Amino acid sequence: MYGHLCGSTVHLGGGAREIIYDTGFFGRPKDDYLELTLIESVYLHYKGRITVELDGKDLDLEDLIYKSSRRMDNFEVKYIVYKDLRERGYYIKPGVTDFRVYPRGGRPGSTPSKYFVQALSERQILPLPQLIRQVETTDNLKKEMILAVVDEESDITFYSTKLRSMKGESKKISLNNDIRASLLEDRVIVWDIQETQNLHNELLYGKPLDEKRLHLSLIEAAYLQVNGLIIIRDSKKDVKNNILAPDIFAEQAAIVDPDFPLKLAVYKDLRDQGMVVKTGYKFGSHYRVYKKVNSKSKMKHSEFLVHAIDNDHIFNLPQLSRAVRLAHSVRKQMIFAWKAGNNIRYLEIGRIKM
């Protein structure tokens, strides 16, 4: 077939509909021609199925790639993703993100598309607000939003992204109020061994340092404090009953850890939803989260890693890769959480094979 390069499309004349569209769903049929994107054109040229001319001269593949690269941002990265999916049997159409992709075995006209795919170079940045808009649009259309990240060596990693809720099933138990605790540098100590055991064994708060003391993290202490369960004293003051009010405690915690207010908001939401939340330090995330734990002895594998981010966070893709890969390697789901008004929203990002 013979085509003509026209801006950022290639027009194929008579017969193209039957030969090119009907056999592979390339291009968009117009009244008397078939319109191909640059990506489709390069692919069909590479396959030897079309010739493309400009100003009366045939373009070889190298020429056509040069022109495409100049006429379209990110051409090479998008082409790598297109070619990969196409050669593995997927039908692809242009879409609101880069590509609408049909499910395996499905095809345009008879099946709805399943995925919205966005192709990114690992060097691009991905602002959270932009990603959210895309995921919401995709959700509204009942599609799955997929990020296809092309690394420096042209390997592709696919990530599925979805907004989700977080809901746990841990029992709530009541405690004696006013448990005695002290702030010591960047952690809090509960002194009463009896209360220590209840807090730790039944609700999984803190870690026992010995038979006498339980260490709470600043986050845990703040949450228990605002719920009226513990009373925190300041160990830096000589008067033993120098009680720290919740706002003063939160202020001091924010000096030690500038992310404290954000992390506390996420922690509070997860605990309020019945999940058990522990530090994720060993996994490089803020929290590891359990859907259900009824006692320490029955503590299972945590299902989630949750990382709190600002609502204008900008994802750096190598860092995202590291977080998701690590979660994957320990069989957990990677969740990013941020504040949207008075609510916390959750985005799950996972590697998928396509």
Catalytic residues: 290, 301, 332
> What minimum distance in Å lies between the beta carbon of 317 and its own copies?
8
Nearest to 116 by CA among 129, 99, 131: 99
Report the residue from 38, 59, 219, 266 that binds its own copies according to the rule CB under 8 A. Answer: 219
Please list, residue by residue across 231-254, b when 16 or more beta carbons sit within 10 angstroms of its beta carbon and e when fewer do. bbbbeeeeeeeeebeeeebbebbe
Contact 168, 274 (CB under 8 A): yes
Nearest to 47 by CA among 76, 13, 11, 87: 87
> What minimum distance in Å lies between the beta carbon of 70 and its own copies?
6
Is 57 one of the binding residues for its own copies (CB under 8 A)? Answer: no
Report the residue from 30, 133, 318, 352 that binds its own copies according to the rule CB under 8 A. Answer: 318
> What minimum distance in Å lies between the beta carbon of 207 and its own copies?
5
- The bridge status of strand 287-290 relative to strand 304-308 is antiparallel
How crowded is residue 109: how many other Cβ atoms within 10 Å of its Cβ?
A: 8
How crowded is residue 170: how many other Cβ atoms within 10 Å of its Cβ?
A: 19
Report the residue from 97, 161, 225, 285 that binds its own copies according to the rule CB under 8 A. Answer: 285
Is 177 one of the binding residues for its own copies (CB under 8 A)? Answer: no
Of the two residues 161 and 285, which places its CB atom closer to its own copies in the complex? 285
Of the two residues 96 and 330, which places its CB atom closer to its own copies in the complex? 330
* DSSP secondary structure code for residue 72 in this structure: S
* DSSP codes, 202-255: IH--SEESSSS-EEE-HHHHHHHHHTTSEEEEETTSSSTT-BPPHHHHHHHHHH
By residue count, the chain amounts to 354
Q: How far apart are CA 246 and CA 233, in angstroms?
A: 11
Is 136 one of the binding residues for its own copies (CB under 8 A)? Answer: no
Report the residue from 14, 53, 58, 66 that binds its own copies according to the rule CB under 8 A. Answer: 66
Q: How far apart are CA 5 and CA 38, in angstroms?
A: 9
Of the two residues 159 and 346, which places its CB atom closer to its own copies in the complex? 159
Of the two residues 69 and 137, which places its CB atom closer to its own copies in the complex? 69
Binding mask 220-249 for its own copies (x = CB under 8 A): ---------------xx-------------
Q: Which residues sit at the interface with its own copies, rule CB under 8 A?
A: 46, 61-62, 65-66, 69-70, 74-77, 80, 83, 121-123, 149, 151-155, 157, 182, 184-187, 189, 191, 206-207, 209-210, 212, 215, 217-219, 235-236, 256-257, 278-279, 281-285, 317-319, 321-323, 325-326, 329-330
